[in-house]
Amino acid sequence: MKKKLVIMTLAFALGLSALTSLSVPSAHAAAPQTLFYGSTAPDVPDLQYRLKVLGYFNTDVTPFFGPVTKDSLVRFQRDYGLAADGIAGKQTWAMLKKVSVNKHELDLLARIIYGEARGEPYVGQVAVGAVVMNRLASSSFPNTVKGVIEQPRAFTAVDDGQYDMVPNKQAYLAALDAVRGYDPTNGALYYFNPDTATSSWIWTRTQTGKIGRHIFAV
C-alpha cells in the first residue's frame, strides 16, 4: 500500500538537487524491458530513478542492475503487493508508472504545481501534486503524468501559460512529497477556487476538504 508521509525532512531537502540534476533517460515509447540482476539496459537508470524518487534506492543511478537495485526493487514490490521476486516485469513496471515519475515527469509535476499553486501554503502545493498522482492512478484519466497534466482544459495554468514558468525548489519538494504518497486531499481528483469557479458542475462533486484557497473533491 502507498505510505502516507510527513512533510519532507532536511535530509530529504538536501537530496533534492541530486534528484533534479540527474541525467536520466525519460520513459521510452516502447514497453520497458524486463530487468533482473545483472541486466545492463537503457531502462535500468529509469528503474533506479523511479525507485530513488520513492525512497527505495539510495545510491547513484547507473546502467547496471546490481544487488542494491534488486534489494530496492524487492522492498518496493513487497510494499505494493507485488510478487517480491526482484524482477522488473510487466506488472512491476505498470505499478511503478502509476505511483512514481521519471526525471521529465518530475519536472512537469513541479511546473504544474508552481503554475497552479505557488501562492498557496506548502501543503496546498503538495495537494495539487497529489491530485495529479490520484488521477494517474485512476482509470478515468490518462495513464501518463504528461497526459494527466496536459489533458485539454484540465488545469488553468496549462491554458494560460503559467505552466511554462520555471518552478522553484519548493515546487520540486512538493512534487516529490506527492509522488511519495503524501496526500492531504484525502484522495481528491479535482480542486477549484470557490471565489473564481464558474462551473456549476464542479459544485456537484463530493468535497474532501479545503486547503488554502482551494476546495478539493472527488
pLDDT tens digits, the chain, 218 residues: what are they?
444 444 444 444 445 666 666 655 554 457 789 999 999 999 999 999 999 999 999 999 999 999 999 999 999 999 999 999 999 999 999 999 999 999 999 999 999 999 999 999 999 999 999 999 999 999 999 999 999 999 999 999 999 999 999 999 999 999 999 999 999 999 999 999 999 888 899 999 999 999 999 999 99
pLDDT of residue 102: 94
pLDDT of residue 197: 86
As given in the structure block, the three cell numbers for residue 9 are 525532512
Q: Which residue has the cell 496526500?
A: 183
Picking from 177, 190, 179, the residue whose alpha carbon sits closest to that of residue 6 is: 177
Q: Residue 129's Cα: distance from chain center in Å?
A: 7
d(CA 190, CA 73): 32
Picking from 73, 189, 198, the residue whose alpha carbon sits closest to that of residue 140 is: 189
pLDDT of residue 9: 41
The strand ranges marked E within the chain are 190-192, 207-211, 214-217
Please report, to the nearest 10 degrees, the dihedral formed by the alpha carbons of residues 52, 21, 108, 96 taken in order.
Answer: -20
Compute the chain's Rg from CA coordinates. Answer: 17
CB contact at 8 A, 2 and 136: no
The set of residues, in sequence order, having a beta carbon less than 8 Å from that of 133 and lying 6+ positions away, is 99, 178, 179, 183
pLDDT of residue 31: 79
Residue 88 dihedral angles phi and psi, to the nearest 5°: -90, 85
Residue 173 dihedral angles phi and psi, to the nearest 5°: -60, -40
Q: Residue 184's Cα: distance from chain center in Å?
A: 14
As given in the structure block, the three cell numbers for residue 79 are 510494499
- Ramachandran region, residue 202 (left: φ > 0; alpha: ψ -120 to 50; beta: rest): alpha
d(CA 133, CA 116): 15
